[in-house]
Amino acid sequence: MRTAKIIVTGGAGFIGSNLVEGLNRRGLTDILVVDDLGRDEKWRNLSGLQFADYLQKDAFHRLLCEDRLGEANAVFHLGACSATTETDAGYLMENNYRFSVELCGWCQRHRARFIYASSAATYGDGTRGYSDEDAVTPTLRSLNPYGFSKQLFDLWALRNGLLGSIVGLKFFNVYGPREDHKGEMRSVVHKAFGQIQRTGEVALFKSYLAQYRDGEQIRDFVFVADAVKVALFFLDQPEVCGLLNCGTGQGRTWLDLARAVFAAMGREPRVRFIEMPEDLRSRYQYHTAADTRKLRAAGYTEPFTPLEAGVREYVQSYLSAKEGLEVS
């Protein structure tokens, strides 16, 4: 087969399909989309997008192992199991770590630009901060197997001196169009919209730490269009490499997010606090906010979309439109 100039693994997924759309807007269509469509509705994310070919992940992996992929200019490696609740650590090691090692090795041998998705989940409970400096990376301790699988590849790349030739993006809490298929891993924006439609209220987890009141747990919320802009920046700047945070640098509360969804829907806020499942309490992040100094020093100057503006665009231009609703 003739490999496309750009390969996007996870290309039918949330960030991946938005990235393919971003490439299309640049007039780039010589793209190989790699994914595992399964039996859910993820295939709909590819509708209307332009790409040269599609391969199921297993078929792509066979060609990769046999070194029969041909050539490519760039690989965006966004394909991974992103479920923070996944407990099969062996599966995560093969899917998220080993596959990444093999694909990165192929890119090194074939001189293809390698841009991969890491995660803010690598920061664990945040007590070691949110610096993406290489000296900090080995000190991080994840709270779940997903974060550990991502951390393991970051460490492999660092240990093998590859962060001077590849790019890893530590995505924080990304939300936006094309996440419908993600089930429980959908953003709270998507979940809140559905809850408000059904019940008129939003349910948020109670806090179990005295320093955080209910609903005031903090996240760094990133509109998916900004995540795509950051990824494309590193395609445009092949001399810029490293492991970098992809976040706004601004921590906002779950209450801020809920109020933004209500405002976008033209409704008065109604929030109810519910118990957090016991098995989640020891693995819950109470505060995340990206340290963006390294990203800015790399030359990325674009502003990030404010939470209220991103939620408004998502709710009014996508979620409401998809449901055929008019926002008052």
- CA atoms within a 13 Å half-sphere pointing along the CA-CB vector of 131: 10
Q: Of all residues in the chain, what percent are helix, strand and coil, respectively (each to 5)? A: 40, 15, 40
User: Of 21, 8, 7, whose CA–CA distance to 177 is shortest?
Assistant: 21
First CA to last CA across the chain, in angstroms?
A: 52
Catalytic residue selected from 5, 54, 57, 182? 182
Residue 123, CA distances (Å) to 89, 135, 285 in order: 18, 14, 9
- Classify burial at 139, counting beta carbons within 10 Å of its beta carbon; exposed 0-12, middle 13-18, buried 19 or more: exposed
The three-class DSSP label of residue 252 is: strand
Based on the residue annotation, tell me whether 182 is a catalytic residue of this protein.
yes
CA distance 139 to 322: 44
- DSSP per position, 197-215: HHHSSEEEEPP-STTS-TT
φ/ψ of 171, rounded to 5, equals -70, 130
Catalytic residue selected from 116, 123, 130, 146? 146
Based on the residue annotation, tell me whether 146 is a catalytic residue of this protein.
yes
Q: How many residues does the chain have?
A: 328
Check: CB of residue 259 under 8 Å from CB of residue 190. no
* CA 65 distance to own-chain centroid: 26
CA distance 310 to 284: 25
DSSP state letter for 305 = P
The set of catalytic residues is: 146, 182
